[in-house]
Structure 1
Amino acid sequence: MGSRLKVLSVFKNLHRTRMAVFKDDDNALCAARLKINQEFRKNKDETSEENIQKMIKMGSDVEIVLRQSVLQMEHIEENTLLLRPREDLLLENVPYCDQPRKKS
């Protein structure tokens, strides 16, 4: 795939992720949209293939971090927050064990 198509793909993926991660939060949706568009416009005249590949990688990494690490919370009362995790963040909670299990 050409660099231009990869850049557009990362751009679209970031915006799709933004829509899912910040769902129902107009301020965060707007701020994320402005930041994504600003970063892409800032680098639109880049011609170095090496730098373009680095930026594509960075954009993909940012999309992964947003998708896997960001949680929505809403202020309910003065000292109360409502956590709204997305389905893809809910994982089975398996405790870590340093010792391997003994075979029986």
Structure 2
Amino acid sequence: MAARSKVLQLFKALHRTRKEVFKGDDAALEAARQNINAEFRNNLTESSPEKIVELLKFGTDVEIILRKTVIQGLHKDHDRISIRPRKEILLDNIPVNHNPTTKDT
């Protein structure tokens, strides 16, 4: 029963992440929804505990990659793309100090 609970939690997490990452892009939202549902449906009858753990790890990795690395882009012109980074992606950025001060020793 614990495995079933973890699978359902991962399923919901992937869908929440999909909605956040592809917000406003109906085609990408639908494609991701179909892909997530198909992958879970394909492994619905899996009963091996080792394989279930492996699939849970893979799904968790996918969720992290989607959340931390995917950035939406929108073509503005033939040579310009507007990006919509999410807050959690920008948290890892460290501002550059263009006027560093030297410390006297």
Q: Structure 1-normalised TM-score?
A: 0.87
Q: Secondary structure at the match of 1:23?
A: coil
In structure 2, what is the equivalent of residue 63 of structure 1?
A: 63
Q: What does 1:86-97 correspond to in 2, within 5 Å?
A: 86-91=86-91, 92-93=93-94
Q: What does 1:1-40 correspond to in 2, within 5 Å?
A: 2-40=2-40
Give the drift of 1:23: 0.3
Measure the CA separation in 1 of the matches of 2:55 and 2:88.
26
Cα deviation, 1:29-73, whole Å, max 9, x if unaligned, reads 000000000000000000101100110111001000000000000
CA RMSD of aligned residues (A): 1.7
State the AA in 1 paired with 2:60. S
Give the drift of 1:94: 6.0
Cα deviation, 1:78-101, whole Å, max 9, x if unaligned, reads 111001000111133267xxxxxx
In structure 2, what is the equivalent of residue 75 of structure 1?
A: 75
Q: Which runs of 5+ in 1 are unaligned?
A: 96-103
In structure 1, what is the equivalent of residue 102 of structure 2?
A: none
Measure the CA separation in 1 of the matches of 2:57 and 2:11.
12
Sequence identity (%): 50
Q: Which runs of 5+ in 2 are unaligned?
A: 97-104
Q: Structure 2-normalised TM-score?
A: 0.87
State the AA in 2 paired with 1:16. R
Greater mean alpha carbon deviation, residues 17-26 or residues 1-10: 1-10
Which aligned runs of 4 or more in structure 1 are off by greater than 6 angstroms? none
Measure the CA separation in 2 of the matches of 1:89 and 1:34.
25
